[in-house]
Amino acid sequence: NLGFPLDLIKLMLEEKGVQLDIATFDRLAQEHSEHNAKMQQQQQPQSAGKQLDVLSLAQLQQRNVPITDDSPKYDYKRGQDGKYVFKPCQATVLALHRDQTLLEEVSGKQHCGVLLDRTCFYAEQGGQASDQGYMM
């Protein structure tokens, strides 16, 4: 319900003559919550060491690395199959990050965070735990 009060949702539906099945709603909300928790657990090993922390953010500011332009994420349309289609987004790598350190380079087998000047990716805030994308 995205934080919207359930009693208010129920009242609004009743005004439209629609009955809310609370038991089914609660079950689906629980399933959604469990799915998100499972997806976050699966992704944690992949993201270990790549999350930006306060020290890394301070380093980025000291180096005058600009904030990423994420406006391309709003430039999309819906395809005939119903899926979202985003235009290609060309970007420049501004920094590499791993284990609270900004790096100049990484080896072919190392995982790292990549900071770009622009992106069509959404920042993960818990609700998009299973969304994925790729860079080429």
pLDDT of residue 45: 53
Sign of CA pseudo-dihedral 5, 126, 40, 78: positive
20's CB contacts (< 8 A; 6+ apart) are 9, 10, 13, 14
pLDDT, tens digit (0-9, with 9 covering 90-100), for 71-99 = 998 999 999 999 988 888 999 999 998 88
Domain range annotation of the chain: 1-43, 49-135
4's CB contacts (< 8 A; 6+ apart) are none
pLDDT, tens digit (0-9, with 9 covering 90-100), for 7-59 = 888 899 999 999 989 899 889 888 888 887 777 666 555 555 667 888 888 99
CA distance 60 to 67: 9
| pTM, rounded to two decimals | 0.58
Q: Which neighbouring-strand residues pair with 56?
A: none
pLDDT, tens digit (0-9, with 9 covering 90-100), for 46-75 = 555 667 888 888 999 999 999 999 999 899
CA distances from 29 to 22, 34, 36, 42, 104 (A): 10, 9, 11, 20, 44
CA distance 31 to 36: 9
